Amino acid sequence: MSRSKLGVSLFILSEANFFVILIIAYVYYHTIPAGGPSAASSLDPWRTGAFSICLFASSATLLLAERNLRRDRHRAHFCWLVITILLGAIFLVGQGNEYARLITGGVTWSRNLFGTTFFTLTGFHGLHVFGGLCALAIMATVALTAEMTDRRREAFAAVGMYWHFVDAVWVAIFAIVYLWAFV
Amino acid sequence: MNHVLAPGMEGTAPEFAAQEGLLSWVASVDHKQIGIMYLLGAFVFFGVGGIEALLMRVQLALPNNHFLSPDTFNQLFTMHGTTMIFLVLMPMLTGLTVYLVPLMIGARDMAFPRLNALSFWIQIFGGIVLYFSFFDGGAPNAGWFSYTPLSEKTFSSLPGQDYWLLGLFAIGIGTVAGAINVIVTVIDLRAPGMSLRRLPLFVWMGFVNSWLMVMALPILNGALVMLLIDRELNAHFFTPEAGGSVILWQHYFWAFGHPEVYIMILPAFGIISEVIPTFSGKPIFGYGFVAASTVAIAFLSLSVWAHHMFAVGLGHLWDVFFGASSMAIAVPTGVKIFNWTATMYGGRLRFTTSMMFAVAFLVMFTIGGLSGVSFAVVPLDWQLTDTYYLVAHLHYVLFGGTVFALFAGIYYWFPKITGRMLSEHWGKLNFWSTFIGFNMTFLIQHLLGMMGMPRRVWTYPALPYWGSFNLLSTIGAFVLLFSMLVFIWNVFISLHEGALAGDNPWGGWTLEWATSSPPPTDNFDRVPPISGRRPLWDLAHPELADELVGRAE
Amino acid sequence: MSGILTLNPLSPQAAAISHLFVDILGVLGGIFLIVLVMVGYAIVRYRDRPGAAPPRQVFGSRKIEIVWTVIPIILLSIIFGFTVRSMHASDPPITPGTTPDLRVVAHQWWWEADYLKSGVIAANEIHIPVGQRWLLELDSADVIHDFWVAELARKIDMVPGHPNHIWLEADRPGTYLGVCAEFCGNEHAWMRFRVIAESAADFDRWQRAQLQVPPKPSGSEAAAGLKLFEQNTCVNCHTILGTPGNQSIGPDLTHFASRTTLAAGAADNTNANLYRWLKDPNSIKPDTHMPNFQFDDADAKALTAYLETLK
């Protein structure tokens, strides 16, 4: 494994631990009966599911970007990279939209434990998505304007791993927060 | 006899020339300079944390004393603990690790030199954020583990607590970044012949320790953000009125906090594992067992956290499980003490200052470790936790253990880092005053705890002997102050007039001694051939090379 | 030795811990001596001397490693067995549904004691009958505190939202010192309490006295003090039976004069100290939640006189 990939794998391990802590808090408090809005009463898994599909699709498009880079098809690589970023951005917009809906509906961080844990968990995920988008945008700029040296290819592979991780975390969060509430 | 080029950052122009001037240090990505900066920064904070301790000891020298107000005292003990752990011990150990690991594995630098610099500066930034609290309403005062709900806004309305949370968050990120760097460096940058089984134990311990950091620090950061969110956004993670659990904070904190104490001792074990063999003239006894026990400790450390919570009332099932796991972790730790001692048997022991600190470590850490075992006996913990007996225990392992090991390491590697020898004359004075001062301060605290003195009290009533024992402890603290001044003096004069060290003043066997003191920018002109755990021994004794002669495992 | 509270047990629960403690100290002390001797011998015997032969390069011994791994495992297993047994003896199980005898609620920085069977509400000094095992329910009104009477029982946290229970009993009559053993804010140091164990007859007498509504004070100074109490904001925090004061933000003062200390152990309960407390609470317990009412001398004297009638 290249140095960059090794480093990013370790970074992913540390971030995974961070998310596990947030998830444990969500799960623990979800099992305690409490008053006020809950996941079941405030969330819309269909709408969020639609945006989630964009995020999941972005992993697929990223894989396509990676494959094209391996085959030195730089224009295709760049295009798929841009599509990945767009899909990720749509996901974030969808999230923002959902937050706006919830907050105007009275579900806030301070409202109750559902609000606290929901916004914290999904919020930090969103932050990580945003960070990933920044990194992808940088890689897209490099792909457009500079030569893809070996080091840059390694860096891209590392960023790719991070993006897939962020995606995987959303699989877990979507299942635990949106699906489990309705089971 | 083929010497080789040290592995480095292939493909990058190595513009790491050590330029003159302070600014070059700020911009440096050279692991040696960064290591030195870690050590210097940590030493400054050691002075600050030490003054915080001295002030507390003055307040506690007499019963019913009014030298400090309770609020000031509470800020001091909070800052003392936080500083010593996050801004002194961890960066000191990281500094030595970052300085030595590339040298010991025959590399030119760390895998990610810029990340190395970033880790250091983030940590300094975190320290500044933490100390800025003194200028904005007062330092945090809820203790270094900030139990909720005391640390929630309701009971700690001033921003000091937020500075604590933010400062530690930054330090956590820096620590994980540094750990990732060490792991990748050890995996990827070893010189040819340096298999993982031939790593110097200091490197191995640093490597295992880095995995522990990657696992544990994110847990802290998770807890920190939750408390920050509680405080700033009126959330409810740890507020009981809204259904939050104050105990959840403790679980999270100690799930980090216990691995954290092993994070602070494993590199110290690494130092001892280098120093004792060198000054005994023979290799470490049981390299494989020492290495394996390190891994065992790392794994077990993730499973003992609730032994900090025996008094919380979790129920006997929890207490029994964590009592058992806490006893289990004593086994690999004890094994190491036996191995280090056995290394000395049959040796030719040279009592340099470094060796004296290392031998004292064996005894001091044993005391701390045994008092730790007494805490694993749950009913004893029910009496002794949160008393001065616990304060004694933690100082015996962290000071008698880690700090003594750090002194052993500093006296050992100062010649390599600076090119000059520290004075053995001042070193002996340093050692004895530290040893006497340390024991005078902390030994009696075991008894004070048994007598019923709780910890974190700004004063105490004039019960029989409470005053005189506390006074003894305070005097010891001033003896420690003296010993630190001796050390500073030793460093100062040695930098100016110390004997020139040469490449290998101690006759060490690991690769850092195969280059000049201080090493050149790229560490090695050529790396000696590596066919065993002690390359320089093998070079000097080809007929008696370690792997030729065969190892007993 | 009696000053070493953890080794001066005066209850069966504390005795279980104390005996284990002595045994463990012995074992650990023995291990320490072994290590000390091993290290001490090495540093003397193997000291570098001029002309000494180069040391034999020994790498280890699997046999020895196994021995000194297995022996500690066996030793620790034995210790673990004793640990579990002592846990049972020192913190006996509680049948679910048992009603507590006494509920102690920790506040920053004083102790509220609610006698659930008799209805007595006391503060900072807890009387119990000798030889009877009482079940205590421990709770907190604010932050985490810890209830610790070393001579009588283990310590246990008082956690808001998570009530705990322990058994409390005393073999002999006496006054046993207790402290808060979990850092709880500025005056954690002066959050002390006393457990006073007395004969059944004495305890009954005490309980009955505690239930009495104090008579109106006869002296003029004390009467003035009562008026001050009723007319000032004292009643917003303190309860005194027979007056409008019925809050429990501060300690119940109905029988204040029957206590040996004031401010949860910060000072002895004397007229002089009480006067000082009323004039400036921070002079006795800095950062206490009790405000400084800026009483003039006459008012402070009057209040002191009144409060000291509350036996």
Domain boundaries, chain B: 25-549
Asked whether residue C184 is assigned to any structural domain, the reply reads yes
- Please list every residue in chain C whose beta carbon sits closer than 8 Å to the beta carbon of residue B72: none
Residue of chain B with shortest Cα separation from C88: B316
Q: Which of C62, C90, C118 is the last residue of a domain?
A: C90
Asked whether residue C95 is assigned to any structural domain, the reply reads no
Residue B542 to chain C, least CA–CA distance (Å): 14
Per-residue pLDDT tens for B449-478?
999 999 999 999 999 999 999 999 999 999
Pairing of strands C110-115, C261-262: unpaired
Asked whether residue C37 is assigned to any structural domain, the reply reads yes
Q: How far is CA B453 from CA B62, B474, C10, C111, in A?
A: 14, 15, 18, 18
Name the token pair of C251.
Answer: 């300690």
Q: Between residues 245 and 304 of chain B, which touch chain C (CB distance below 8 Å)?
A: 245-247, 280-283, 285-289
Q: Produce one character per residue of A145-173: b if its CB has 16 or more CB atoms within 10 Å, e if not.
A: eeebeeebebbbbbbbbbbbbbbebbeeb
C7 touches chain B (CB under 8 A): yes
Name the token pair of B180.
Answer: 């990732």
Q: Which of C160, C178, C211 is the last residue of a domain?
A: C211
What is the rounded distance in angstroms from the CA atom of residue C302 to the CA atom of residue B158?
Answer: 38
Task: Tell me what pLDDT residue B20 has.
Answer: 66
Q: Which of C31, C56, C90 is the last residue of a domain?
A: C90
Mean pLDDT of C71-97: 95
Asked whether residue C96 is assigned to any structural domain, the reply reads no
Query: Letter for the amino acid at A48?
Result: T
A31 Cβ neighbours under 8 A, 6+ residues apart: none
Residue of chain C with shortest Cα separation from B448: C4
The CATH number of residue C63's host domain is: 1.10.287.90
Q: What is the DSSP letter of A145?
A: H
C8 touches chain B (CB under 8 A): no
- Optimal mutation site among B150, B370, B377, interface C, most CBs of chain C within 10 A: B377
CATH topology of domain B25-549: Cytochrome C Oxidase; Chain A (1.20.210)
Task: Tally the domains of chain C.
Answer: 3
**What is the reported pTM?**
0.96
- Please list every residue in chain B whose beta carbon sits closer than 8 Å to the beta carbon of residue C73: 331
- Please list every residue in chain B whose beta carbon sits closer than 8 Å to the beta carbon of residue C287: 69-71
What is the extent of the structural domain holding C36?
5-90
Look over chain B and give the mean of its residue pLDDT values, rounded to a whole number: 95
What is the rounded distance in angstroms from the CA atom of residue A82 to the CA atom of residue A76?
Answer: 10
The CATH number of residue C242's host domain is: 2.60.40.420
Query: What strands lie across the sheet with C164-168, from one edge to the other?
Result: C121-123, C110-115, C102-107, C134-140, C164-168
Asked whether residue C169 is assigned to any structural domain, the reply reads yes
Per-residue pLDDT tens for B242-283?
999 999 999 999 999 999 999 999 999 999 999 999 999 999
A131 touches chain B (CB under 8 A): no
φ and ψ at residue A134, rounded to 5 degrees: -60, -45
Same domain as C109, residue C206: yes
- Residues making up chain C, counted from first to last: 311
Per-residue pLDDT tens for B295-329?
999 999 999 999 999 999 999 999 999 999 999 99
Q: Which residues of B touch A (CB under 8 A)?
A: 11, 111-112, 115, 176, 179-181, 183-184, 187-188, 214-215, 217-219, 221-223, 225-226, 229-230, 233-237, 242-245, 248, 252
C218 Cβ neighbours under 8 A, 6+ residues apart: none
Per-residue pLDDT tens for C164-176?
999 999 999 999 9
Task: Tell me what pLDDT residue A171 has.
Answer: 97
Asked whether residue C269 is assigned to any structural domain, the reply reads yes
Query: Letter for the amino acid at C303?
Result: L
Name the token pair of B167.
Answer: 């400062």
Task: Tell me what pLDDT residue B8 has.
Answer: 59
Task: Tell me what pLDDT residue B30 has.
Answer: 96
Test B236 with A110 for CB contact under 8 angstroms: yes
Same domain as C227, residue C207: no
Pairing of strands C156-158, C145-148: antiparallel
Same domain as C120, residue C141: yes
Task: Tell me what pLDDT residue B11 has.
Answer: 41
Per-residue pLDDT tens for C205-263?
999 999 999 999 988 999 999 999 999 899 999 999 999 988 999 999 999 999 999 99
Task: Tell me what pLDDT residue A181 has.
Answer: 86
Q: Is C119 left (phi over 0), alpha (psi -120 to 50) or beta?
A: left
Test C58 with B459 for CB contact under 8 angstroms: no
**Nearest Cα residue to B218 out of A21, A37, C140, C227:** A21
Asked whether residue C152 is assigned to any structural domain, the reply reads yes
Q: Give residue B21's pLDDT band: very low, low, confident or very high (50, 70, 90).
A: confident
B463 touches chain C (CB under 8 A): yes
Test B451 with C62 for CB contact under 8 angstroms: no
Per-residue pLDDT tens for A9-32?
999 999 999 999 999 999 999 998
Domains of chain A: 3-24+53-182 (1.20.120.80)
Q: Is the pLDDT of residue B16 over 50?
A: no
Same domain as C199, residue C127: yes
Test B244 with A29 for CB contact under 8 angstroms: yes
Residue of chain C with shortest Cα separation from B359: C39
C with B: 3 or more CB pairs under 8 Å?
yes
